[in-house]
Structure 1
Amino acid sequence: MTSPADEILDIVDENDQVLGQSPRGAAYARGLRHRCVFVEARDAQGRLFVHRRTPTKLVFPSRYDMFVGGVVGAGESYDDAALREAEEELGVSGLPRPRFRLKFLYDDGSGHSWWSAVYEVRCELPVDPQAEEVAWYGFLPEAEVERRLAQWDWVPDGLAAYERLKALRAAG
């Protein structure tokens, strides 16, 4: 079995055009721009799936996230990656295809830069999150997530995606 660091990613420019490929570990180490998907998963009651990442994650270990998702593999579409990552991280199969909402370039100025496609999905299946990815999880009401924003240590790219998705919804 190969490690996540060996996964091959498309390296892209500021316009999301493919420049070449690189193993994930090398892309992170060299700050190469790649593609990621963020999937907001809600249960039948509309509560948001929130989790704390494991301490072994390559990026933002042990931080909280309100999205499931991850990197888009070389040659993989955003839509296919969104479904694959959501099913993998939630530990389910047979999810409806996540609905695309927006895309933005995340760049924190310190070597973390990726095109970020944001999706939504309703997960009414019992979840069994990947132990390698998820240290803790719960389905939280939106008001609880909002209260926790200032209290918990969140992944910065997830916060950026959350704020953009919230603004999109507010705009109608």
Structure 2
Amino acid sequence: MSAHAHERVDYVDPRDRVVAQGRRTAGVPAGLLRRYAATVCTDHAGRVLLYRRTPSAPVYPDHYDVLIGGAVRTGEAYRAAALRELREELGWETATGLVEAYRIRVDDPHGPCFLTVHRWVADRPPRPDPEEVAWCGFVAPLTVVTGGYTPVVPAGADAVRRLLPL
């Protein structure tokens, strides 16, 4: 059984109001959406943290991405989820200055969801969890959107176009 099998998440209506809870691995109730929180990390030189997902990742295995994140758990705020994911995936215990950049409704491989993207300027090197991150490094944002790394997770490429100067 996966580590996520027992996690509980909130399901929200189209206005992002919590209306139900359930196991993360269960199907989404009809008409409701999941919630995800992610962070785009840059360094002080303006490079973006790019990582490659592991071959065992349940969604987008072996893809490159800039969104560090995951499901928002039951009762958890988007920002708290983003901070938890930074800690779990990259070993960053704190992220002073983390700010919400935008929230959108997207269709991901599990169905429709709300994705809240945060920004943070990293002030120390990451310590990636090898079960979550196969490789990571800071790269020029333009290389992410011009095919320098493929395949890339679509929402991550979109985040780079929205947030970073190219």
TM-score (norm 1): 0.83
Paired position in structure 2 for 1:161: 159
Report the alpha carbon displacement of residue 10 of structure 1 after superposing the two structures with TM: 0.4
- Does the CA-based 8 Å contact 1:40-1:68 persist in structure 2? yes
**Alignment partners' CA distance in 2, 1:6 and 1:82:** 19
Go from structure 1 to structure 2 and tell me whether the alpha carbon gap of 1:46 and 1:57 turns closer, same or farther (over 3 Å shift): same
Please tell me the residue identity of whatever aligns with 2:159.
Answer: A
Closer/same/farther in 2, CA of residues 2 and 31 from structure 1, 3 Å limit: farther
Q: How far off is 1:66 after superposition?
A: 1.2
Flag the structure with higher helix content. Answer: 1
CA distance in 1, matches of 2:146, 2:158: 17
Q: Distance in 1 between matches of 2:135 and 2:89?
A: 12
| Aligned pairs for 1:16-165 within 5 A | 16-27=16-27, 33-107=33-107, 111-148=110-147, 152-165=150-163
2:12 equivalent to 1:12? yes
Q: Counterparts of 2:161 and 2:46 in 1: how far apart (Å)?
A: 18
> Could you tell me how far 1:114 is from its partner in structure 2?
1.1
Q: RMSD of the alignment, in Å?
A: 2.7
Aligned-pair CA distance for 1:32: 5.9
User: SS at the partner of 2:143?
Assistant: helix
Q: Secondary structure at the match of 1:131?
A: coil
Give structure 1 stretches of 5+ with no counterpart: none
Q: 1:66 to 1:26 in 2, by over 3 A?
A: same
Aligned equivalents of 2:155 and 2:143: distance in 1? Answer: 20
- Tell me, yes or no, if the aligned pair for 2:100 and 2:116 is still in contact at 8 Å: yes
In structure 2, list runs of 5 or more residues that go unmatched: none
Three-state SS of the structure 1 residue aligned to 2:55 is coil
Moved over 6 A (4+): none
CA drift of 1:111 comes to 4.6
Q: Does the CA-based 8 Å contact 2:105-2:114 persist in structure 1?
A: yes
What do the CA deviations read for 1:106-146 (whole angstroms, capped 9, x no partner)? Answer: 125x6522101111001121211111110111110123223
Conservation of the 8 A alpha-carbon contact between 2:53 and 2:65: yes
Q: How far off is 1:2 after superposition? A: 7.0
- The Cα shift of 1:98 comes to 1.4
Instruction: Name the aligned partner's letter for residue 161 of structure 1.
Output: A
Contact 2:50 2:64 in 1 (8 A): yes
- Does the 8 Å CA contact 2:14/2:32 hold for their aligned counterparts? no
Query: Which one-letter code corresponds to 2:22 in the other structure?
Result: S
Count the aligned residue pairs.
166
Give the SS at the match of 1:138. Answer: strand
Q: Deviations over 1:128-166 (max 9, x none)?
A: 1111110111110123223336x5111223234334435
Identity of aligned residues (%): 36
